[in-house]
A and B are shown apart, each in its own frame.
Chain A
Amino acid sequence: MSTLGKATSKLPLFIFLTPILLWLFLLIVLPHIDLLRMSFRIENDYGDMVWSVSNYLEFFREPIYWLTFTRTALYAIIVTFLTLCISLPVAFYITKVAPPKFRGFLSLLLLMPFWVSELVRIYGWMILLRESGVINHFLVEWGILQQPVEMLYNDVAMTMGLVYTSMLFMVVPLLSVMDSLDDSLIEAAFDLGSNMFTIVWKIIIPHAMPGIASGSIVVFMLSLGNYLTPNLMGGKNALWFTEQIYNQFIASFNWNQGSAFGFLLLVLSSLIIFIGLRLTNQKLSKVVQ
């Protein structure tokens, strides 16, 4: 009787799980298996496809590929750090300082830019920053600049674009951890004569650590996998690793090399996150809660 009861109670669960499992399996697992298979195949001199690891070796053999990856990863880390520096005060302000009735409104303001697509947001930035753009126009008008300068197409513009695009994904997890921070801890710290820096360093950051870690993972992955922002705002110097994957698939027709790069990106970025979690003594199972 008891076993039957268990079986029937699990049936609805399976019914509801089926779409997700099918979704995951058909649209994510299967294509990845095919890509993985493809990444181990190359065309030999006779035009036949054979098994080989040379697609992966190519990444380490050709400096341009691993240099591009290193550069991409470094910039993604910088972007993650900057996003954190901006989001932490924002999240603190919304949860602790702003009057409660404005909290919803402020969160909504943060969400607003995400109602339009990333492409539109990036073009908006381009209109602002370009040499004949809005900011330059006013700077020249007010006599601050003699001549318009190009603010677009460099690493600073690109980094700013990436920070802007990913800020929300850092603020949201921070809001939820900050909410659970007890105000009396901060008050007590003030009473005991500690300054602002100590409070941030000893109370707020340790408390917010799970939120910081999960936000950082999301922002890091989003920046690393971004294609539009580096391409449009970074311009001529910003070769992003995703663009190299795109180039392999589209321009060179070399899907095998492209899928090898795709898997390298997956493995290497997971590795970076693993190291990051280790360094900050976090557990993945706790962070993703």
Chain B
Amino acid sequence: MKKKVLSLMVAGGFILGLGSGVSAETLELLTWTGYAPKSLVEKFEKETGITVNTTFSNNEEMIAKLRATRGAGFDLAQPSQDRISSVQEKFNIYQPIDYTKIDAKLIVPSMLEAVKKNTMVDGKSYGVPHVYGTSGLIVNKKTAAGADDYTALLDPQYEGRVSYRLKRPTLIAMAFAEGKDPFALYGDAEKYEALMESIGQKLIDAKGLVKTYWANGDALLQSMRSGEVNVAMAWDNGGWKLNAENPDIDFVAPKSGALGWIDTFTIPAKAKNVEGAYKWINFMMRPENAAVFTNAEKYGTASAGAIEFYDDAVKANFQRSFSQADVDNIKWYPPVPAKLEAIEGKILDKVKASQ
């Protein structure tokens, strides 16, 4: 037995040693599921000769991964714009963006300005906008016609048919549904903690209604498709994808305001292929490419002019779910100060642990 283990370990060592001799130019992309559609990756590889390797992740894991290597291992990451500045201040995992290398014509100017401002640390900015969207409700109108605000997630009439993520957006959405403004309390950790404690207690009280806390977007869509879940808090594109299959299900912008996020491009501090990263950014923001992405994933894009290439169904989605008032009511995430994550993490743990 011992001999076998030994020879296995020796073999393992050889394999590790052999694996490191790759020569072609590569771009290591750390991104969200769906953000690098296969057709676009192939087109990019043909145009530039750079091989794209993608790793799919979420905000928290992206930050943790880059923090573990102090910003090495990836050439381009895609965190949300509100999660960049405090992380950069503390862990220094990104490098400033050289905006002269980005074709500014390709990007909606107001979004570029907003992201520049929100990702600024010591006078330098760290992000380029890529994709935007909102979190709100996905509702099955046949079985949960009345659900028009986040409070539906706490409503006993939908018992066993409710699902949401146990992540910070849920806490923030519930606070807005109560008529509070959690973003205004970002500067006051104590008041923010008190507010979140009360929201956490509400989630604990209404825990019996929840089917499950979803963690994987596809798994949630599957539950909604099969009728196991009728009201969920989720991203708008999920609702629109389902709407194309079943007109009863749709995304609803909640009365107290959908939560608006912008995902960005950032370049990790120790990126090896910085030039390739800029090439990928400019490639993805070209209107025809951005539209391919939006038509497939239904998310909005920060690319200027992409709207001309949108499918009609994609345009219709937005008009169906958002009236002008809903658009004005979108709550865009301001940059998150450090320490709030720890407060929220503990409350979310309590919710999950309660019986």
A interface list, Cβ under 8 A from B: 16, 19-20, 23, 62, 64, 67-68, 130-132, 150, 152-153, 231, 235-237, 239, 243-244, 247-255
Question: Which of B87, B212, B345 makes the CB contact (< 8 A) with A251?
Answer: B345
Question: Which of A20, A235, A254 makes the CB contact (< 8 A) with B6?
Answer: A20
Is the Cβ of B213 less than 8 Å from the Cβ of A252?
A: no
Question: Which of B63, B228, B349 makes the CB contact (< 8 A) with A247?
Answer: B349
Is the Cβ of B228 less than 8 Å from the Cβ of A132?
A: yes
List residues of chain A with CB within 8 A of the CB of B215. Answer: 231
Closest Cβ–Cβ distance, residue B350 to chain A (whole Å): 5
List residues of chain B with CB within 8 A of the CB of A150. Answer: 160, 211, 228
Majority DSSP secondary structure for residues of B touching A: helix
Indicate the size class of the contact surface on chain B. 20 to 34
Question: Which of B10, B212, B342 makes the CB contact (< 8 A) with A236?
Answer: B212
Which 3 residue pairs are nearest across A and B when measured between Cβ atoms? A252-B345, A132-B226, A235-B212
Is the Cβ of A248 less than 8 Å from the Cβ of B212?
A: no
Question: Which of A16, A231, A244 makes the CB contact (< 8 A) with B349?
Answer: A244
Is the Cβ of A19 less than 8 Å from the Cβ of B346?
A: no
Closest Cβ–Cβ distance, residue B82 to chain A (whole Å): 14
Q: How far is the CA of A153 from the CA of B223 in the complex (A)?
A: 13
Is the Cβ of B341 less than 8 Å from the Cβ of A64?
A: no
**Interfacial residues of chain B within 190-237, with CB under 8 A of chain A in the complex:** 207, 210-213, 215, 226-228
Q: How far is the CA of A132 from the CA of B161 in the complex (A)?
A: 13
Contact A253/B63 with A16-B6, A131-B228, A247-B348 known, Cβ cut-off 8 Å: yes
Q: How far is the CA of A236 from the CA of B208 in the complex (A)?
A: 10
**Interfacial residues of chain B within 299-355, with CB under 8 A of chain A in the complex:** 341-342, 344-346, 348-350, 352-353, 355
Identify 22 residue pairs between A and B in the complex whose beta-carbon atoms are under 8 Å apart, listed by A's number.
A19-B10, A62-B346, A68-B353, A132-B226, A153-B211, A235-B212, A236-B213, A237-B352, A237-B355, A243-B352, A244-B349, A247-B348, A249-B64, A251-B60, A251-B167, A251-B341, A251-B344, A252-B341, A252-B342, A252-B346, A253-B342, A254-B345
Q: How far is the CA of A186 from the CA of B169 in the complex (A)?
A: 64
Cβ contacts B61-72/A at 8 Å (1 or 0 each):
101100100000
Q: How far is the CA of A237 from the CA of B166 in the complex (A)?
A: 12
**Interfacial residues of chain B within 58-109, with CB under 8 A of chain A in the complex:** 60-61, 63-64, 67, 87
Question: Which of A64, A152, A235 makes the CB contact (< 8 A) with B353?
Answer: A64
Question: Which of A16, A19, A231, A253 makes the CB contact (< 8 A) with B341?
Answer: A253
Q: How far is the CA of A67 from the CA of B227 in the complex (A)?
A: 35
Contact A251/B207 with A23-B13, A131-B228 known, Cβ cut-off 8 Å: no
Closest Cβ–Cβ distance, residue A158 to chain B (whole Å): 12
Q: How far is the CA of A227 from the CA of B344 in the complex (A)?
A: 21
Is B9 located at the chain interface by the 8 A CB criterion?
yes
What residue of chain A has the Cβ atom nearest to residue B212's Cβ? A235
With A20-B6, A254-B345 already in contact, 13 other A-B pairs whose C-beta atoms are closer than 8 Å: A16-B10, A19-B13, A23-B9, A64-B346, A64-B353, A67-B353, A130-B228, A131-B226, A150-B228, A236-B210, A236-B213, A249-B64, A252-B342
Cβ contacts B12-23/A at 8 Å (1 or 0 each):
010000000000
Q: How far is the CA of A250 from the CA of B166 in the complex (A)?
A: 14
Q: How far is the CA of A153 from the CA of B211 in the complex (A)?
A: 8
Is the Cβ of B60 less than 8 Å from the Cβ of A250?
A: yes
Q: How far is the CA of A251 from the CA of B59 in the complex (A)?
A: 9
List residues of chain A with CB within 8 A of the CB of B60. Answer: 250-251, 253
Closest Cβ–Cβ distance, residue B337 to chain A (whole Å): 12
List residues of chain B with CB within 8 A of the CB of A252. Answer: 341-342, 344-346
Is the Cβ of A239 less than 8 Å from the Cβ of B213?
A: no
Is the Cβ of B345 less than 8 Å from the Cβ of A64?
A: no
Closest Cβ–Cβ distance, residue A240 to chain B (whole Å): 10
Q: How far is the CA of A169 from the CA of B194 in the complex (A)?
A: 47
Q: How far is the CA of A23 from the CA of B63 in the complex (A)?
A: 28
